[in-house]
Every structure is written in structure tokens, then in C-alpha cells.
Amino acid sequence: MVANESIAKPVSLSEVKTILKKINKEREEMIYEQKIAFEHANKFAKLPVKKTEEIIKELLKLEFIHEILAYKIADLLPVTEDDIKTIFAKERITISENDIKKILEIVNKYKIE
């Protein structure tokens, strides 16, 4: 999450990658934490920012998904029902098999081959 004027907003790994790439160009050297975050984002960000934003918007249309979950799903791009169940493990809702299928359908539309 990025703090902006006392408001925390979730940020996808793709956005982190873009932000840190910009910082890297503007400065001589990034601080240690920024370097580690940049390496992580480069390694694990699977979609470009635009596609990540699109999948998040589509996931948010599902009534049972809140913003943080949409970002987690967009960053992780789960491929199995067990992956979805793991993401929802700490949530206070029980996700149905039908809802899991809806999520996987959305993720599969955006997955890069």
C-alpha cells in the first residue's frame, strides 16, 4: 500500500515495478529496501499495469470481492481452485465453488501464455 495524504491505497506489483523504475531513473542509487522491492516486483509482476488495472476492475464487479482481495488475485494470478481457497483462507466469508469458477474465468482471460 502507498500512503498518500494519510490515505492508504493498495498498489499492485506492476505499479510498484513502474514506480521504482521511475525512482531508479531519477536517482543515482536506490536505497536497500527499494532495491529489494524492485527485484521482487521484477521477478513476480506477471502482467503490465494496464492489464492489472483491467483485471482488478473486473474482479471488483463480483460482489464478494473487496479491493485488497482483487489486488492479491491480480498479483498472484491463481490457476487452481486450491490457490483461490488459499487466498480466501483468512477471510470471514466462505467462497462457493461457483464463485471460485468465476474468479478463475476472469484470471484465465488475462493470463499471459
Q: For 12-71, what is each residue's pLDDT tens digit?
A: 999 999 999 999 999 888 999 999 999 999 999 999 999 999 999 999 999 999 999 999
pLDDT given at position 98: 97
37 and 56 belong to one structural domain: no
Residues with Cβ within 8 Å of residue 105, at least 6 apart in sequence: none
**Which cell numbers hold the place of 25?**
531513473
For all residues of the chain together, what is the average pLDDT? 91
State which H helix or E strand residue 88 sits in.
Answer: none
57 and 101 belong to one structural domain: yes
15 and 36 belong to one structural domain: yes
pLDDT given at position 43: 94
62 and 87 belong to one structural domain: yes
State which H helix or E strand residue 21 sits in.
Answer: helix 13-26
22 and 57 belong to one structural domain: no
Domain boundaries, position 7: 2-44
Amino acid occupying residue 37:
A
53 and 99 belong to one structural domain: yes
The count of domains in the chain is 2
Residues with Cβ within 8 Å of residue 21, at least 6 apart in sequence: 38
53 and 36 belong to one structural domain: no
